[in-house]
Amino acid sequence: MIFNIINKYEENRGVGIDQYFNEEMNHPMADGKYLSALSVLFSNKKVSKEFYQLRVSRAIKRLEKSSSIKNDEHAAWGLNFKYKSIKAKEPYLITSSIVLKGLLDNQEYMPLELVKRTVNYLNEYPYFKLVNNKKKIIVLPQFSENTIEYNYNAVAYWAAMMYVSSKEGLIKDASISLNTLEYIKSLYEAPYGWRYSAVNNRVDLLHQFYILNSLLEKYPIDVVERVGFDVINSFYSDGKFHDKLDTLTFDDSIKLVSKVNAYSLNYLSDEKYYVVYDKGARIWSLGEVLVFTSKLMKTSNHPDYWRRISFLLVKDILEKYSNYLQSNISPRDDMHILDGLANFWVNL
């Protein structure tokens, strides 16, 4: 399946529709994920150097072309299509951070100039607020220039990539971004994870694992693994992964469950419940979860548990993928799946 996904992506030159936009185009986030998956496969000798370099070079050309900022100092990427009030070329924090991860994963075979331009943009990100938290300066970059919301998953991904960039010698000081990553870690709410933001109580499966995979860049596996157990338990039940939940008061929870399909109403405290929606997880969410569980198959103290969860994820992905083929699965879906499956294969 891995090579079927790669071949399809190459045949289409990275072009396809999206779940949020029904016109064909390149998707920078997909190319960022593609680069990460190719790095995993090549570094573990699953593909030849020729195979790897050819596909990396094509992805780089697409990213150069789709960059929202074209100058000698900066590079950044948005969705490449208009979404709500946001313009197609408006850079997104999460998209640019995912692309940077792909670039850093392949740095040995990457144009250093593009890596530096991307690091420069994210390190100098102009749209943020400062928070003084326990005498530590926290930087919360907003989602985009015109989206004044500090989404925890995007902030965590950004902070992790700034930390990795500092380890690679691309920036001098990552202390503030490390403070920020620690701050995001502290916002975890047991047992389900992180809310979307301070003003949005939605808890989304994909975003939980953007955060958890970001934390793995810095923290010991046993620390992150413990949170992973709880999050998996909150989102997996009756043989399937669920996609989202909301945290609400008891009265609001009862009203919600009365109106929509919900799998369960779960007690947290006298004033708080969380409602898990009876909706199967989206396929790109499953791919991101699989990145996390696959890494823990070999490196954690509980490999059998993570192996079992990984096989459940692969089963769900294969079933959904065969159905999605009927409706032309999107490049962003495809590349999240590919990243998950690549990590799964090399950690078997």
Place of tokens 């569980």: 293
Report CA dihedral (13, 34, 232, 178) to the nearest 10 degrees: -140
Average the pLDDT over each of 13-17, 86-90, 157-161, 179-183 and give the range with the smallest value.
86-90
Residue 146 sits in which domain range? 2-243+280-346
Angle formed at CA 296 by CA 320 and CA 192, multiple of 5 degrees: 70
Task: Answer whether residue 293 is part of any domain.
Answer: yes
Q: Can you give the pLDDT at residue 280?
A: 87
Task: Answer whether residue 269 is part of any domain.
Answer: no
Q: Can you give the pLDDT at residue 75?
A: 97
Question: How many domains does the chain divide into?
Answer: 1
Q: Is the pLDDT of residue 326 over 80?
A: no
Q: Average of pLDDT values for 244-266?
A: 80
Q: Can you give the pLDDT at residue 19?
A: 86
pLDDT band with cut points at 50, 70 and 90 for residue 324:
low
Task: Answer whether residue 66 is part of any domain.
Answer: yes
Task: Answer whether residue 233 is part of any domain.
Answer: yes
Name the average pLDDT for the chain.
Answer: 92
The pLDDT tens digits of the residues spanning 228-241 come to: 999 999 999 888 89
Task: Answer whether residue 287 is part of any domain.
Answer: yes
Q: Average of pLDDT values for 32-55?
A: 97
Q: Is the pLDDT of residue 98 over 80?
A: yes
Task: Answer whether residue 263 is part of any domain.
Answer: no
pTM of the model: 0.95
Query: Domain containing 113 — which CATH number?
Result: 1.50.10.20
Task: Answer whether residue 265 is part of any domain.
Answer: no
Q: Can you give the pLDDT at residue 325?
A: 58
The pLDDT tens digits of the residues spanning 124-142 come to: 998 998 888 778 889 999 9
Q: Is the pLDDT of residue 159 over 60?
A: yes
Q: Provide the token pair at 56.
A: 């990396």
Task: Answer whether residue 266 is part of any domain.
Answer: no
